[in-house]
Structure 1
Protein backbone atom coordinates (compact mmCIF):
# COMPACT_ATOMS: atom_id res chain seq x y z
CA UNK A 1 0.00 0.00 0.00
CA UNK A 2 1.21 3.47 -0.79
CA UNK A 3 2.17 6.07 1.78
CA UNK A 4 2.70 9.02 -0.55
CA UNK A 5 0.85 10.86 -3.32
CA UNK A 6 3.10 12.80 -5.68
CA UNK A 7 2.12 16.16 -7.07
CA UNK A 8 3.21 16.92 -10.65
CA UNK A 9 5.87 19.28 -9.28
CA UNK A 10 7.46 16.44 -7.31
CA UNK A 11 7.48 14.09 -10.31
CA UNK A 12 8.92 16.86 -12.51
CA UNK A 13 11.67 17.50 -9.95
CA UNK A 14 12.57 13.82 -10.16
CA UNK A 15 12.41 13.59 -13.96
CA UNK A 16 14.45 16.77 -14.43
CA UNK A 17 16.88 16.03 -11.57
CA UNK A 18 15.95 19.35 -9.97
CA UNK A 19 16.27 20.53 -6.39
CA UNK A 20 14.14 18.28 -4.21
CA UNK A 21 14.49 15.21 -6.42
CA UNK A 22 16.41 13.16 -3.82
CA UNK A 23 13.55 12.87 -1.30
CA UNK A 24 11.23 11.88 -4.16
CA UNK A 25 13.67 9.12 -5.22
CA UNK A 26 13.72 7.79 -1.68
CA UNK A 27 9.93 7.48 -1.35
CA UNK A 28 9.18 6.42 -4.92
CA UNK A 29 8.57 2.72 -4.11
CA UNK A 30 5.78 3.77 -1.72
CA UNK A 31 4.27 6.46 -3.96
CA UNK A 32 1.38 6.89 -6.38
CA UNK A 33 0.30 9.72 -8.66
CA UNK A 34 -3.16 10.71 -9.79
CA UNK A 35 -4.06 10.66 -13.49
CA UNK A 36 -4.71 14.43 -13.40
CA UNK A 37 -1.21 15.09 -12.06
CA UNK A 38 0.25 12.73 -14.63
CA UNK A 39 -1.51 14.87 -17.25
CA UNK A 40 0.04 18.00 -15.72
CA UNK A 41 3.47 16.37 -15.85
CA UNK A 42 3.09 15.39 -19.51
CA UNK A 43 1.79 18.88 -20.30
CA UNK A 44 4.84 20.51 -18.74
CA UNK A 45 7.29 18.14 -20.45
CA UNK A 46 5.73 18.54 -23.89
CA UNK A 47 5.40 22.32 -23.53
CA UNK A 48 9.17 22.37 -22.96
CA UNK A 49 9.73 20.56 -26.25
CA UNK A 50 9.73 16.88 -25.30
CA UNK A 51 7.68 14.61 -27.55
CA UNK A 52 4.77 12.79 -25.95
CA UNK A 53 6.50 9.49 -26.79
CA UNK A 54 9.65 10.59 -24.96
CA UNK A 55 7.54 11.78 -22.03
CA UNK A 56 5.79 8.40 -21.93
CA UNK A 57 9.16 6.63 -22.02
CA UNK A 58 10.68 8.81 -19.26
CA UNK A 59 7.69 8.38 -16.98
CA UNK A 60 7.45 4.69 -17.86
CA UNK A 61 10.96 4.10 -16.53
CA UNK A 62 9.63 4.93 -13.08
CA UNK A 63 7.58 2.28 -11.30
CA UNK A 64 4.67 4.43 -10.22
CA UNK A 65 1.05 3.43 -9.85
CA UNK A 66 -1.33 5.85 -11.58
CA UNK A 67 -4.65 6.34 -9.81
CA UNK A 68 -7.68 7.16 -11.99
CA UNK A 69 -9.64 10.35 -11.28
CA UNK A 70 -13.08 8.99 -10.42
CA UNK A 71 -16.40 10.48 -9.34
CA UNK A 72 -15.57 10.50 -5.61
CA UNK A 73 -12.26 12.27 -6.21
CA UNK A 74 -14.07 14.77 -8.44
CA UNK A 75 -16.43 15.68 -5.60
CA UNK A 76 -13.59 15.87 -3.06
CA UNK A 77 -11.48 18.06 -5.35
CA UNK A 78 -14.44 20.28 -6.15
CA UNK A 79 -15.28 20.77 -2.48
CA UNK A 80 -11.69 21.78 -1.69
CA UNK A 81 -12.24 25.09 -3.49
CA UNK A 82 -13.75 26.43 -0.26
CA UNK A 83 -10.51 25.90 1.69
CA UNK A 84 -8.06 26.69 -1.12
CA UNK A 85 -9.53 29.54 -3.16
CA UNK A 86 -7.66 32.36 -1.38
CA UNK A 87 -4.35 30.72 -2.22
CA UNK A 88 -5.26 30.17 -5.86
CA UNK A 89 -4.84 26.39 -5.74
CA UNK A 90 -5.56 24.96 -9.20
CA UNK A 91 -7.89 22.13 -10.12
CA UNK A 92 -4.90 19.84 -10.67
CA UNK A 93 -3.53 20.71 -7.25
CA UNK A 94 -6.93 20.09 -5.65
CA UNK A 95 -7.09 16.72 -7.44
CA UNK A 96 -3.76 15.80 -5.86
CA UNK A 97 -4.84 16.98 -2.41
CA UNK A 98 -8.15 15.10 -2.75
CA UNK A 99 -6.27 11.90 -3.59
CA UNK A 100 -4.04 12.36 -0.54
CA UNK A 101 -7.08 12.94 1.67
CA UNK A 102 -8.97 9.95 0.24
CA UNK A 103 -6.02 7.58 0.68
CA UNK A 104 -4.83 9.13 3.95
CA UNK A 105 -1.39 9.48 2.36
CA UNK A 106 1.22 12.20 2.69
CA UNK A 107 1.11 14.55 -0.30
CA UNK A 108 4.56 15.37 -1.69
CA UNK A 109 4.99 18.63 -3.60
CA UNK A 110 7.46 21.34 -4.53
CA UNK A 111 4.73 23.93 -3.90
CA UNK A 112 5.74 25.63 -0.64
CA UNK A 113 2.50 27.61 -0.83
CA UNK A 114 0.63 24.43 0.11
CA UNK A 115 2.12 24.57 3.61
CA UNK A 116 -0.23 27.54 4.17
CA UNK A 117 -3.28 25.32 3.63
CA UNK A 118 -5.26 24.31 6.66
CA UNK A 119 -6.41 20.88 5.54
CA UNK A 120 -6.44 17.55 7.32
CA UNK A 121 -3.72 16.14 5.08
CA UNK A 122 -0.06 15.49 5.73
CA UNK A 123 2.21 17.48 3.40
CA UNK A 124 5.88 17.22 2.56
CA UNK A 125 7.38 20.14 0.65
CA UNK A 126 10.55 19.06 -1.16
CA UNK A 127 11.95 22.54 -1.82
CA UNK A 128 12.51 25.04 0.94
CA UNK A 129 13.22 27.93 -1.44
CA UNK A 130 9.90 27.70 -3.27
CA UNK A 131 7.84 30.93 -3.24
CA UNK A 132 5.11 31.40 -0.68
CA UNK A 133 2.62 34.05 0.41
CA UNK A 134 2.88 36.11 3.59
CA UNK A 135 0.91 34.84 6.59
CA UNK A 136 -1.74 37.52 6.05
CA UNK A 137 -2.70 35.75 2.81
CA UNK A 138 -3.37 32.35 4.39
CA UNK A 139 -6.66 30.53 4.07
CA UNK A 140 -8.51 29.46 7.18
CA UNK A 141 -9.81 25.92 7.14
CA UNK A 142 -11.66 23.49 9.32
CA UNK A 143 -8.68 21.64 10.72
CA UNK A 144 -4.89 21.92 10.79
CA UNK A 145 -2.74 19.79 8.56
CA UNK A 146 -0.82 16.92 10.07
Structure 2
Protein backbone atom coordinates (compact mmCIF):
# COMPACT_ATOMS: atom_id res chain seq x y z
CA UNK A 1 0.00 0.00 0.00
CA UNK A 2 1.34 3.43 -0.87
CA UNK A 3 1.91 6.19 1.64
CA UNK A 4 -0.17 9.38 1.91
CA UNK A 5 0.81 12.56 3.73
CA UNK A 6 -1.65 14.23 6.09
CA UNK A 7 -1.92 17.97 6.45
CA UNK A 8 -2.65 19.24 9.95
CA UNK A 9 -6.22 20.06 8.88
CA UNK A 10 -6.87 16.47 7.84
CA UNK A 11 -5.53 14.99 11.07
CA UNK A 12 -7.50 17.52 13.10
CA UNK A 13 -10.65 16.59 11.19
CA UNK A 14 -10.08 12.98 12.22
CA UNK A 15 -9.32 13.53 15.90
CA UNK A 16 -12.11 16.10 16.31
CA UNK A 17 -14.60 14.02 14.28
CA UNK A 18 -15.23 16.83 11.81
CA UNK A 19 -16.65 16.69 8.30
CA UNK A 20 -14.39 14.57 6.11
CA UNK A 21 -12.99 12.49 8.98
CA UNK A 22 -14.13 9.32 7.22
CA UNK A 23 -11.75 10.05 4.34
CA UNK A 24 -8.83 10.26 6.75
CA UNK A 25 -9.93 7.08 8.51
CA UNK A 26 -9.86 5.27 5.16
CA UNK A 27 -6.19 6.27 4.67
CA UNK A 28 -4.89 6.18 8.25
CA UNK A 29 -3.19 2.77 8.02
CA UNK A 30 -0.62 4.12 5.57
CA UNK A 31 -0.54 7.78 6.60
CA UNK A 32 2.43 9.96 7.42
CA UNK A 33 2.74 13.50 8.76
CA UNK A 34 5.67 15.88 8.87
CA UNK A 35 7.01 17.11 12.19
CA UNK A 36 5.94 20.65 11.23
CA UNK A 37 2.33 19.62 10.68
CA UNK A 38 2.34 17.42 13.77
CA UNK A 39 3.39 20.50 15.76
CA UNK A 40 0.41 22.36 14.27
CA UNK A 41 -1.96 19.59 15.36
CA UNK A 42 -0.53 19.42 18.87
CA UNK A 43 -0.76 23.21 19.17
CA UNK A 44 -4.45 23.21 18.22
CA UNK A 45 -5.19 20.37 20.64
CA UNK A 46 -3.43 22.19 23.49
CA UNK A 47 -5.34 25.37 22.58
CA UNK A 48 -8.53 23.31 22.74
CA UNK A 49 -7.75 22.36 26.33
CA UNK A 50 -6.30 18.88 25.92
CA UNK A 51 -3.51 17.77 28.24
CA UNK A 52 -0.22 16.34 27.01
CA UNK A 53 -1.34 12.90 28.18
CA UNK A 54 -4.69 13.15 26.38
CA UNK A 55 -2.96 14.26 23.18
CA UNK A 56 -0.55 11.34 23.35
CA UNK A 57 -3.43 8.95 24.09
CA UNK A 58 -5.25 10.29 21.02
CA UNK A 59 -2.36 10.39 18.54
CA UNK A 60 -0.17 7.41 19.49
CA UNK A 61 -2.70 4.69 18.53
CA UNK A 62 -2.94 6.16 15.02
CA UNK A 63 0.59 4.83 14.42
CA UNK A 64 1.42 7.58 11.95
CA UNK A 65 4.78 7.66 10.25
CA UNK A 66 6.44 10.86 11.47
CA UNK A 67 8.56 12.49 8.78
CA UNK A 68 11.37 14.73 10.07
CA UNK A 69 11.38 18.10 8.33
CA UNK A 70 14.90 18.51 6.96
CA UNK A 71 16.98 21.10 5.13
CA UNK A 72 15.92 19.93 1.67
CA UNK A 73 12.25 20.20 2.67
CA UNK A 74 12.86 23.65 4.13
CA UNK A 75 14.36 24.86 0.85
CA UNK A 76 11.48 23.36 -1.13
CA UNK A 77 8.91 25.00 1.19
CA UNK A 78 10.65 28.33 0.64
CA UNK A 79 10.64 27.85 -3.11
CA UNK A 80 6.94 26.95 -3.06
CA UNK A 81 6.19 30.42 -1.67
CA UNK A 82 6.79 31.87 -5.13
CA UNK A 83 4.49 29.28 -6.74
CA UNK A 84 1.65 29.59 -4.21
CA UNK A 85 1.76 33.22 -3.11
CA UNK A 86 -1.50 34.16 -4.86
CA UNK A 87 -3.49 31.52 -2.95
CA UNK A 88 -1.99 32.50 0.40
CA UNK A 89 -0.56 29.24 1.69
CA UNK A 90 1.05 29.37 5.12
CA UNK A 91 4.49 28.05 5.99
CA UNK A 92 2.84 24.95 7.48
CA UNK A 93 0.87 24.41 4.27
CA UNK A 94 4.01 24.74 2.17
CA UNK A 95 5.94 22.45 4.53
CA UNK A 96 3.33 19.76 3.97
CA UNK A 97 3.32 20.23 0.21
CA UNK A 98 7.13 20.30 0.06
CA UNK A 99 7.30 17.05 2.00
CA UNK A 100 4.75 15.38 -0.28
CA UNK A 101 6.47 16.70 -3.38
CA UNK A 102 9.91 15.44 -2.36
CA UNK A 103 8.57 12.06 -1.22
CA UNK A 104 6.43 11.82 -4.38
CA UNK A 105 3.28 10.93 -2.44
CA UNK A 106 -0.26 12.36 -2.38
CA UNK A 107 -1.40 14.72 0.34
CA UNK A 108 -4.72 14.78 2.19
CA UNK A 109 -6.04 18.14 3.38
CA UNK A 110 -9.25 19.86 4.46
CA UNK A 111 -8.18 23.13 2.81
CA UNK A 112 -9.94 23.42 -0.56
CA UNK A 113 -7.74 26.34 -1.65
CA UNK A 114 -4.87 23.86 -2.02
CA UNK A 115 -6.63 22.46 -5.09
CA UNK A 116 -5.59 25.68 -6.88
CA UNK A 117 -1.90 24.89 -6.33
CA UNK A 118 -0.46 23.61 -9.58
CA UNK A 119 2.83 22.28 -8.22
CA UNK A 120 2.97 18.65 -9.30
CA UNK A 121 1.53 17.16 -6.10
CA UNK A 122 -1.54 14.91 -5.96
CA UNK A 123 -3.71 16.99 -3.59
CA UNK A 124 -6.83 15.30 -2.22
CA UNK A 125 -9.38 17.34 -0.29
CA UNK A 126 -11.56 15.64 2.33
CA UNK A 127 -14.36 18.24 2.15
Please report the TM-score for the alignment, with normalisation by the length of structure 2.
0.96
Q: Which residue of 1 aligns with 2:38?
A: 38
In terms of fraction of residues, the more helix-rich structure is 2
- CA distance 1:106–1:78, change in 2 (3 Å): same
Q: CA deviation at 1:2?
A: 4.2
Structure number, greater radius of gyration: 1
Contact 1:6 1:108 survives alignment (8 Å): yes
Q: Unaligned 5+ residue runs, structure 2?
A: none
The residue correspondences of 1:1-146 to structure 2 (distance < 5 A) are 2-127=2-127
Q: Which has the higher contact order (CA 8 A, sep 6+)?
A: 2
Q: How many residues align?
A: 127
Please report the TM-score for the alignment, with normalisation by the length of structure 1.
0.84
- Output the CA distance in 1 between the equivalents of 2:83 and 2:96: 14
Q: CA deviation at 1:3?
A: 2.4
Q: Unaligned 5+ residue runs, structure 1?
A: 128-146
